[in-house]
Structure 1
């Protein structure tokens, strides 16, 4: 445990530095078919705002419930229950995944259609995620955190899949890389933060299952948040191409 490392210092090194390198590389390297910079900047900025608005109440509730807590001396300022670093993490994670998503961006196939039946199926699938989460929340305490993630993720997935799951399926290989790399990286640094004692996941509200020492719930969290950002930006370009 490295108690001298604060939340903000951790973010600056493990998120700020790679984000800076990735952003510079994205500006310098331009490939045919990638979105204009104004679309990239506008789309990412919109997602940062939405992420903060949607995540803040959920995050604060889980902290107040004791699902996780922070190490001594790690946090210097709180707004409600959340440390300042937590708000910044929500924002910079969205930017990091967004910049990476546009780094892999390519031509948009506007010929892919999406019927009303497809929309209904997409919304139903997202609702199924939320209902599964509700069952976990109402079950044993050990499944509470996982259930809370699913309940929180379900409405966003329902919206995105309702808008265009067929297009997401059409670009699934590209989308998989857009999501997989941030999930692996963010999960890895989260594992480091837990090992250093920056925060601790409650054994009462988690299953105790781990992957490489990382609580399973944390990996699922980074999976759904990376999906939120990557799917939103991929769908944004598709919607603009079809209806713009």
Structure 2
């Protein structure tokens, strides 16, 4: 029986922690481990003197035949391990729930928050302060409310501190990101605690407790304790994430953090007055995230495995949809011309004085709608070559060819005449984006690569762009036909006895599946050419970039399996179930 408490860990806490570790191992970054270790250190340091006080004042007791013997300040080794394992479990669940979330978009302050948000923050402060006062009164009174009072004073003091600094940010986070890592381990530990109390592994002295049980042997005080401590752990993780979001979102405020992240800088970011946040950047990130979620859920989910700064720049890069949302050809062409003017200002010719920030800002304000301006103001053009961006505009012009009225032989309404045109189109609209993403990855990587390796990887990225765009076209045959567009090469259609007009009239006819499979075969051929080259990437970039590619290629695999077509579609597009996308990410990260 001397190992009764140790058996609680062997049977309940350690297996749960191991399971979470196995699930999260491919997703865990060095920063995740640092955060967890820091929270464990804080929790251990904060809980040890409190628990020691309880034991020395007879609130807590441990039967000698239930513990192995070693103690620190009177606290059994098994209890010390509980501080560690509970914190670890809760941190792992928090990390799991928050992986898909870009925390930068939730940075806010009093002026940016709604009246409801400000009211909730104030209410939280009042409730926590009142709980501290009630707890102090119970401790002062002594007797049966002593243990509950000690819990309230100890836990709510820390909670009030973190809530005051991170309350606005915490309130804006998705509820599941905060509630799940509090509720799930709390319920699990309630069950474990009820079993332990029932066996007499530990006990609360009858003179210091109210004697109320939630069920079975689970004392009210124990239920409150586990709820409060898990909330403290989550609040601590939220504070860390807010600090990292500040460092990632506002590099101009902490330039040294980009090359040398230290605990001092993180604490400085956590303590930074939210009123000093440059919220225009935050609002731009929010708009970019909303746009990207609409355009590509696969890429948004895949982006969650990229480091914070790189993820923000990638989201800002691929989120623009001005041309896609144009009402007609004239408006779309106008946007293309304005985008070209924007690039002309940003990338001034060599020997010409660079355009000032003021000139670029004025151009953006005079030419683009308010809700899109931040995307251009925040686009990291200083990190990107200009050629792919100009080439991307040429791709947009190819899209407009489908809308031409009175098209001539030289400028047909269906410009994708053969496979060479298909490749040119993919090169302009997708290879360019792949190359730009890679340059951003190179910039944010801590590993510097030789120029010759970078050049090989850029070629591979452009080839992979062909593959991803072919998958995109194969998926969207129905959607494109409804817009009067057919990206399948006209000579392919001719071989099947079809014309582009036939596809527009009936995009669901059987021959379309033959053409879709041919396009997918081309896609996977390009994919197989470029995928091995990605193994040359530094380890910190390899996993995330492979996940981004594989998440999109999985759409092609779904199309080939005929799963989700047409029974599971979104606006006529085949979709990959979220669970499958998560599995693809996990599997590919595990193999790196």
Larger relative contact order (CA 8 Å, sep ≥ 6): 1
- Within 1, Cα distance between the matches of 2:78 and 2:148? 23
Shift of residue 125 of structure 1?
Answer: 4.8
Unpaired runs of at least 5, structure 1: 31-35
Residue 233 of structure 1 and its aligned partner are, at CA, apart by 1.1
In the alignment, is the contact (CA less than 8 A) between 1:110 and 1:242 conserved in 2? Answer: no
Equivalent position SS for 1:113: coil
Structure 2 partner of 1:9? 7
SS at match of 2:203: strand
Question: In structure 2, which of residues 68, 78, 82 is the aligned counterpart of residue 85 of structure 1?
Answer: 78
Alignment-derived partner of residue 164 in structure 2: 162
- How far the C-alpha of 1:238 sits from its partner, in A, is 2.4
Which stretch of the first structure deviates more once superposed, 216-225 or 139-148?
A: 139-148
Tell whether the 8 Å contact from 1:125 to 1:158 is kept in structure 2 after alignment.
Answer: no
Q: Which residue of 1 aligns with 2:32?
A: 40
Which residue is equivalent to 1:101? Answer: 94
Q: Which residue of 2 aligns with 1:240?
A: 244
For the residue of structure 1 that corresponds to 2:236, the secondary structure is helix
Give the deviation of 1:109 after TM superposition.
4.4
Match of 2:13, SS state, is helix
**Equivalent residues in 2 for 1:37-186, closer than 5 Å:** 37-75=29-67, 76-105=69-98, 106-107=100-101, 108-115=103-110, 121=122, 125-171=127-173, 172-186=175-189
SS in 1 for 2:206: coil
The Cα of 1:179 is off from its aligned counterpart by 0.6
Q: Structure 1 residues 229 and 69, CA, compared in 2 at 3 Å: closer, same or farther?
A: same
SS state at 1:211 partner: strand
Q: Deviations over 1:148-193 (max 9, x none)?
A: 0011012211111011112222223331111100100011101111
- Max radius of gyration: which structure? 2
Does 1:200 pair with 2:198? no
Q: Is the 8 A contact 2:106 2:169 kept in 1?
A: no
Unaligned runs of 5+ in 2: 249-592
* 8 A contact 1:123–1:159 mirrored in 2: no
Runs of 4+ in structure 1 off by over 6 angstroms are none
CA distance in 2, matches of 1:111, 1:199: 42
Look up the match of 1:33: none
Conservation of the 8 A alpha-carbon contact between 2:36 and 2:88:
yes
After superposition, the C-alpha distances for 1:28-84 in whole angstroms (9 at most, x for unaligned) are: 4x4xxxxx6122101110011111111111100101111121123112211221001
Could you say which residue in structure 2 is the equivalent of 1:26?
24
Cα-Cα RMSD: 2.1
| Aligned partner (choices 188, 194, 204) of residue 191 of structure 2 | 188
For normalisation by structure 1, the TM-score amounts to: 0.88
